[in-house]
Amino acid sequence: MTTQELVAQIKKKKSFLCIGLDVDLNKIPTHLLKEEDPIFAFNKAIIDATHHLCVSYKPNTAFYEAYGIKGWQSLEKTINYLNKNYPEIYTIADAKRGDIGNTSTMYAKAFFEDLAFDSVTVAPYMGKDSVEPFLAFDNKHTIMLALTSNEGAFDFQTKTVEGKELYKQVLETSKSWKNSKNLMYVVGATKAEYFTEIRKIVPNSFLLVPGVGAQGGNLQDVCKYGLSKNVGLLINSSRGIIYASKEANFAEEAAKKALELQVQMAEILN
Amino acid sequence: MTTQELVAQIKKKKSFLCIGLDVDLNKIPTHLLKEEDPIFAFNKAIIDATHHLCVSYKPNTAFYEAYGIKGWQSLEKTINYLNKNYPEIYTIADAKRGDIGNTSTMYAKAFFEDLAFDSVTVAPYMGKDSVEPFLAFDNKHTIMLALTSNEGAFDFQTKTVEGKELYKQVLETSKSWKNSKNLMYVVGATKAEYFTEIRKIVPNSFLLVPGVGAQGGNLQDVCKYGLSKNVGLLINSSRGIIYASKEANFAEEAAKKALELQVQMAEILN
């Protein structure tokens, strides 16, 4: 999917919500555990109930890998279901991959070609040649960690490197990489004040923002400092939406939570 | 496996060789492509021919993920084969994972419990709470990227952060994390002169060293600066060993290449 198509979808739905499909069998409604593939059954119900309120779904691969081959089958079924039934949806494999050049190419093929995701998250530590293989794919985005929403973000990301915080160096440096137009960045919502600085470096790039809701970030603050002229934000919520209820009506309850955010987003976009 | 057991194996075999099982269907002998599971057939032959010359095998997960569910099945068969037939072997999942706390726990369970690897590689960018969940597992090691062997290592890892290169900050900081005794580090062989500095910070930690052979690193130089009193090095070679030949005798040819390195290692250990 192109950036333009993503922006068009955002304007049509008046939403820049991304729903994180981080499925934990201990947290889903117990009646689903009888299904042949409880993870896919859960995802399908959530997707069917919320697809008109969001523009993107983001399965975190860790939750699928934790169930071994069965988990990968659930992930494959989920992305195939999305691509077949809701091709307008922007899909993100939250995999945080990165390796030396040839090996990154293997990861890029796995997520962009075999699984046909629109984008994948990557880690920046190994530098240019670990990320450029992902950037080589047309109409695919590579979403690089810049400033994450966890406590450990302060261990290295905010440390000063040659006069500038590391996450700013990462943003700045990556702009010179080949096909950097295909880059987006992960920026945690728990630090809304950082968005002003970030927008000075990447004024138009899309930012994937985790940490709204369960992790304490505030939607209004993030938008105040983070919106670009093309919206430029994908706000992710996972637990706050998908685990709204453990009852039979869990998908409806999830849709209510998604609607609350979508209504706020529509107001902000007006 | 404990560090002591790993050291005992090294002393017994007079080897600190790790063989990287980075299997690419385009590079393996064509007669194997007729097998039901060519990747596992290749790994099994390589392992059977080389297990007495090395102490460790390291499949890079990217090469398996690139083949989707079939690839994960090959990975699972490979680790199960190793654990059943060569339980003395130290196994490394080269996955370079890392995420926020709960999610890292999912990855740790996937690699330490479900797949029963002895260790897994992780990326440091997200800091303490992205790595500590891995460190919580007894008798398992977490191998964190410090200084990698690729060109992109110079983008961020060698930049100066508060008076010290980032990779040194990573080494230094990680020593204060909970269960840091379970840490090892990835240090590329292409920069042997760095080992002196690294040993000042982590004098006894095991270092996993890629980049000997195909990537140009020199075994003698690495050992000169990198050996600790408990050996403290695992030298990885992948392509240089496993792709020694594409003929029917590929496993024997791989064993010859492994033997060359093991003989050098035995001399160094004497």
Q: Which of B5, B27, B69 is nearest to B231 (CA)?
A: B5
Q: Are B192 and B217 spatial neighbours (Cβ–Cβ below 8 Å)?
A: yes
- The helix/strand/coil state of B59 is coil
B142-to-A100, A152, A259, B10, B102 alpha-carbon distances in Å: 19, 17, 41, 19, 16
Residue A190: predicted pLDDT: 77
Contacts of B99 (CB under 8 A, 6+ apart): A60, A62, A96, B106, B107, B126, B130
- Smallest CA–CA separation between A102 and chain B, in Å? 10
A126·B162 Cβ contact <8 A = no
- For residue A161, the cross-strand partners are A164, B161
Alpha-carbon gap: A269 to the closest alpha carbon of chain B (Å) = 30
As a whole-number percent, the residues of chain B with pLDDT over 70 amount to: 98
pLDDT at B174: 98
- % of chain B beyond a pLDDT of 90: 93
Given a cut of 70, is residue B215 above it in pLDDT? no
User: Cα(B39)–Cα(B44) distance, rounded to whole angstroms?
Assistant: 9
Q: What is the pLDDT of residues B87-112, one digit of tens each?
A: 999 999 999 999 999 999 999 999 99
Of A34, A91, A27, A28, the residue nearest A57 (C-alpha): A91
Would you list the DSSP string of A17-66? EEEE----TTTS-GGGGGSSSHHHHHHHHHHHHHTTT-SEEE-BHHHHHT
Confidence band for B218, pLDDT divided at 50, 70 and 90: confident
**B60·A149 Cβ contact <8 A:** no
Give the residue extent of every domain in chain A.
3-269
Higher per-residue pLDDT: A101 or B16 = B16
Please list the active-site residues of A. 96
Residues whose CB is less than 8 angstroms from the CB of residue A138 and which lie 6 or more positions away in sequence, other chains included: none
Average pLDDT, chain A: 95
Q: Determine, for residues B107 and A63 on separate chains, whether the beta-carbon distance falls below 8 Å.
A: no
The predicted structure's pLDDT at residue A153: 95
What's the pLDDT score for residue B191? 73
> Cβ of A150 and B127 within 8 Å?
yes
Neighbours of A113 (CB within 10 A): 12
Query: Residue B245, Cβ neighbours under 10 Å: how many?
Result: 15
A3-269 under CATH 3.40.50.300, yes or no: no
Q: Chain A contacts of B97, Cβ < 8 Å?
A: 62, 96
Question: Is pLDDT of B66 > 60?
Answer: yes
Mean pLDDT across A219-230: 94
pLDDT at A225 over 60: yes
Residue B214 confidence (pLDDT) above 60: no
The pLDDT assigned to A216 comes to: 58
Residue among B150, B161, B173 whose CB faces A100 most closely: B150
**Which residues in chain B are contacts of A173 at CB distance < 8 A?**
155-156
Instruction: Please answer yes or no on whether A68 and B110 come within 8 Å at the CB atom.
Output: yes
pLDDT digits (tens, 9 = 90+) for A102-135: 999 999 999 999 999 999 999 999 999 999 999 9
- Name the residues of B annotated as catalytic: 96
A and B: number of Cβ contacts within 8 A: 172
Distance from CA of B189 to the nearest CA of A (A): 14
CA dist B154 to A165, A184, A204, B98, B151, Å?
Answer: 17, 22, 27, 21, 6
